[in-house]
Structures are given as structure tokens and as C-alpha cells.
Amino acid sequence: METVVSGIRSTGKLHLGNYYGAVQNFVKMQHEFNCFFFIADYHSLTTHPTPADLHGNVKQVLVEYLAAGIDPERATIYVQSDIPEIPELYLFLNMNAYLGELERSTSFKDKVRSQSDNVNAGLLTYPVLMAADILIHRATKVPVGKDQEQHLEMARTFGNRFNRMYNTEYFPEPYAFSFTDNLVKIPGLDGKGKMGKSEGEANAVFLSDSPEVIRKKVMKAVTDAGPTEENQQKPDVISNLFSLMKVVSAEDTYSYFDDLYNKCQIRYGDLKKQLAEDMILATAPVRERINDIASNAPYLSKVARLGAEKARASASKTLNDVREIIGFRHF
């Protein structure tokens, strides 16, 4: 069975776009592959979180992925910093990662521009740590978006370089993977494209948003002056609301508002009120699970321990092999 690895940013609280899209990918994958999903808390140190924020972020992400349907018995879900073999492999890979290639990475260049006051070595070697995350389980499939393609290419480069250097075929090549064909695309509330945190908090509805916050965000969504011709095409600032409705509302609710739009009788206030209530209803079960799991410390600690145990079994096997290949010998 093929091995899948994916790292989840520890500041990545889930919005509806993640929930109906990428996370469903994970949930499906856990039934078909040997899956390792981890919370990338070492990576998050590049931005210097406070100790309280660091732990809080890791907990929120763990809770939300469990609530969204990752089964800790089926998949291996773990916290990166529980696996000491990862930084050890990172050290080895760093010896054959070159300054020039690391400096040329797009994400590094972006960071140099956006946070010029904090260009630390961890940022520079971020792709090496990510390669270690993947190679530690000798994974071949990595469910990530387009923005991670270059990092994946570097992971292949580092694995291949190790193989060549030691004349082995130890590391397989990891490639991006998704069931995207069936992924639902969730637009943001601003009508400017897909839902995302980087487009501003108000553009995205988070699973952790309270019903009150969801109502406020939806009611604030931009609309236009209304349709002027029957059956006209919907502009982006309106079609996004309908797309969201398609996902969270009943079919006849959707057609009711679609008909009103087509007859030029729609009142956007009513549409948004309905959309907000249906969003709240659709996400209520997962919100409830989030609250249950978040307050269940024994369960969380059991899940984290189980994940670490399974991940370390795989990681320590790789690391033993790697040490042997490199030439470390016991006296």
C-alpha cells in the first residue's frame, strides 16, 4: 500500500473551504492508503510564536481535524515535535542542501520580501525540514496544493541526491496527489475567488466561528443592486452566495432563491439570512464535535500518544537504515 504524508500548518484553523475540500480528501485517503497526517509545529517556529500560542494552535488544529473525520485508528495523526527522528533526518539532509538552491526557492524569496526583519536560517531550510517530514516515512504521495509544488520538487531532489551519494535507491520520489476532480470549490464571501484566510478573516467562515459571527460575516457579504433582466447571468459577488447555498442548503431552498433571482424579485437580505442559518445548521455537528473533543483532555492525550507511537515506529526504522547507509557504526 502506498504511503501518504501531509503536514498541516499549525496556524491553519479550518474554514468551510478546507472543510468541504482538502479535508474531505484526507478523510477519503485514510481508507485507501497508509496515511501520516501531522501538525507542523516545528515549521511554525520560523515566525516565533509565544509558548501559549504554540500549544493553543496545535491543539486547535488537532481537535478540528479529528472532528472533521480523521480517524486516529486508521490514519496516523501526530504532532511533528513528538518525533525526534524528523529533526535528525533534517540534519543529515541539510549537509547536502545547497545555499544557492535554498535561496532560489520562491517561498523563501517571498518571506525575505514580506518579513525582512526576520530572515532566519529556519526559513532558509524550511524545504529541507519538509523533505525530512516526507522522506522519514518514505512516502510517495503528498496531498498538497499548487503552492507547495516547488517544495515537493526539492524533496525529490534531496532524496535523489542522498540515493546517488550513497549509491542506493532508498528514498522513493514523492509526488503531489489529490482527488481534486471531486473536490468541491468553495468561494469566499467577497466574491473574488475561493475562500481563504489570506484574503482577510471576513472572507472566510471558520468552523470555530460562533453562530453570531457567522451571521455577521454573511450579512456583510457584498452584493450588487439586483438583477435587471430575467434569467440573467449572476455576477461573481452573487454567484458565490448561490454556490455556498448549494453546499449547505436544501435543494428546494436553493431553487426558491434561484427562481426569485431569475424573476428579478430577489431580496438579498432574505437570501443571506437563509444562507447564514443553513451554514450554522450544516456545521453544527462538527462544531459540537470540536467542542466535545476540545474539552476531552484524556482523549486528546490518548490520540497524540497513539499517533506518536505509530509515527515513531515508521520513522525510527527509516532513521536506523539511514544511519547505517551513511556509515555510523556502534562501537
CA atoms in the 13 A half-sphere facing the CB of 293: 26
Active-site choice (28, 59, 109, 111): 111
Is 234 noted as a catalytic residue in this protein? no
Site for ligand TRP in 88-127 (CB under 6 A): none
Q: Under rule CB under 6 A, which residues in 22-51 are in contact with ligand TRP?
A: 40, 43
Minimum CB distance to ligand TRP, residue 131 (Å): 8
- Catalytic annotation on 194? yes
Site string (146-165) toward ligand TRP, x via CB under 6 A: --x--x--------------
Out of 28, 192, 194, 317, pick the active-site residue.
Answer: 194
Total number of residues that touch ligand TRP (CB under 6 A): 13
Pick between residue 7 and residue 72 the one whose CB is nearest to ligand TRP. Answer: 7
3, 4, 7, 203: residue in contact with ligand TRP (rule CB under 6 A): 7
- Contact at 8 Å (CB) between 38 and 8? yes
Asked whether 65 and 13 are in contact (CB, 8 A), the reply is no
85 in contact with ligand TRP (CB under 6 A)? no
Instruction: Extract long-range pairs of 164-171: CB within 8 Å, 24+ residues apart.
Output: 165/96, 166/325, 166/326, 168/325, 170/138, 170/321, 170/322, 170/325, 171/135, 171/138
- In the list 3, 4, 5, 178, the residue contacting ligand TRP (rule: CB under 6 A) is 5
C-alpha cell at 190: 467577497
β-sheet with 34-40: strand ranges across: 76-79, 34-40, 3-9, 141-142, 175-176
Rounded Cα–Cα distance for residues 140 and 5 (Å): 8
What residue ranges bind ligand TRP (CB under 6 A)?
Answer: 5-7, 9, 40, 43, 130, 133-134, 142, 144, 148, 151
